[in-house]
Structure 1
Amino acid sequence: MADIDYYFSTLSPFTYLAGTRLEENAARHGARVTYKPMDIMTLFARTGGVALPDRHPARLAYRLQELRRGSKKTGLPITERPMFFPTNPAPSSYAIITAQKAGGGNLGGLVHGLLSAVWAEEKNIAESDVIRAVLEANGFDPDLADKGMLTAAEEYARNLEDAVSANVFGSPFYIVDGAETFWGHDRLDDLDLHLAGKL
């Protein structure tokens, strides 16, 4: 059974555009996914990335084109400049970490639901009510939004350190069996081929 470490930010539009294709790939090949939400802004600072406000206008314009094209290809609606972006990603990340430990719900659905809240529904995922609603919609106890905060905060920080050590530099980022790396929602077909032993 392959193990996939899935590094991502709950604010990343490209992670939103991945939809639930990672989970579909993993189910098809019997792979196990470990969800590792991380602080993307600190990751950028430590791995040579450039924060959105500091990017050249040419890069910003290209990003918007990629978002439009990605939305059309995936069929996922997207708001290119959502009302609550950026916001504090920590509360939603803590909820994912706590839900992963608790089990019993649809973790992939939770991650996608939080991303969808930002990029398609104009909701603020730093707000407890928003997080609670997405937890409940995916079969988790909504009270997980307010539980295990200290432990989740420690794991969130550890995920960042793990990401830097594993040469992660963006979101979404997938690492199979600690070795084969894939960056971006547009590499999920390659990940699928790799899991099938064809790439």
Structure 2
Amino acid sequence: MNDEGDIDFIRTYNGTKEISKKYSAQIIEKPIDLVGKVFVATGGTPVPQRHISRQNYRLLELKRWGEFLNIKINQKPKFFPPKDPHLPALFCLASIDMGINMDFSSKVLEHLWVKENDISNIDTLKLIADDLKISFEELSKLATSDKIKKIYEANTQEAINMNIFGVPSYVYNN
């Protein structure tokens, strides 16, 4: 089974690895520019701009998922939404390119949703790289490369072309 998905700043943390294990599925992370491009192309609304009823329901949903999956989730993390969601997405893409599948992105999301760290801060990304024993210098160089930026753009355009309007999204046998 080969599933393709995109990164989401909660769902990758709370269940993608479990889905992969349970169904023996290979899940391919594809970080995308959700707010800046996908929402614009598909009519989505960033969380802070949503009607209060939608924001409240989202908090209830986060609480339920945390309980269901028995994981810690801060429903209102201090640094959400990230000031610069592109930076951690590019670092996640670089880690994927280095063969570090889901570990880096899971840690990024743990820092956002549990540890109350700013994932837009380069020091947080370095801390994660150090924790995973990844060369931060190599990761940082790759994350800021044209190669990774082009992959980010291609992933985003692919998501739009496939009518993906939010995350998580999984495409099966396409």
Indicate whether the TM-score tops 0.5: yes
| TM-score, with length taken from structure 2 | 0.87
Tell me, yes or no, if structure 1 residue 163 matches structure 2 residue 162.
no
What secondary structure, in the 3-state scheme, does the structure 2 residue paired with 1:147 have? helix
| Aligned residue among 50, 55, 58 for 1:55 | 50
Partner of 1:113: 107
Tell me, yes or no, if the aligned pair for 1:80 and 1:119 is still in contact at 8 Å.
yes
State the Cα deviation string for residues 96-138 of structure 1 (Å, max 9, x = none). Answer: 21122222x4x22211111111010001111222112223333
1:17-166, aligned counterparts within 5 Å? 17-18=14-15, 20-25=17-22, 28-29=23-24, 31-41=25-35, 42-87=37-82, 88-103=84-99, 105=100, 107-148=101-142, 149=144, 150-166=146-162
Instruction: Rate the CA distance shift 1:23–1:135 in 2: closer, same or farther, 3 A.
Output: farther
Superposed CA RMSD: 1.8
SS in structure 2 at match of 1:68: helix
Q: State the AA in 2 paired with 1:159.
A: N
Query: Which consecutive segments of 4 or more residues in structure 1 shift more than 3 A?
Result: none
Whether contact under 8 Å (2:12, 2:105) holds in the other structure is no
- Distance in 2 (alpha carbons) for counterparts of 1:139 and 1:167: 37
Task: Indicate if the aligned counterparts of 1:131 and 1:145 stay in contact, CA closer than 8 A.
Answer: no
Identity within the alignment, %: 24
Q: 1:47 to 1:166 in 2, by over 3 A?
A: same
Q: Is the 8 A contact 1:13 1:115 kept in 2?
A: yes
Q: Which runs of 5+ in 1 are unaligned?
A: 179-199
What is the DSSP-based 3-state SS (H/G/I as helix, E as strand, rest coil) of the residue aligned with 1:20? helix
- 2:74 touches 2:113 (CA, 8 Å); kept in 1? yes
Q: TM-score, normalised by structure 1?
A: 0.77
How far 1:139 sits from its partner (Å)? 4.5
Gaps of 5+ in 2: none
Separation in 2, partners of 1:57, 1:124 = 24
Matched positions, count: 170
Q: Deviation of residue 171 (structure 1)?
A: 1.0
Q: Is the 2:88–2:120 Cα contact (8 Å) retained in structure 1? A: yes
Q: Which amino acid aligns with 2:42?
A: T
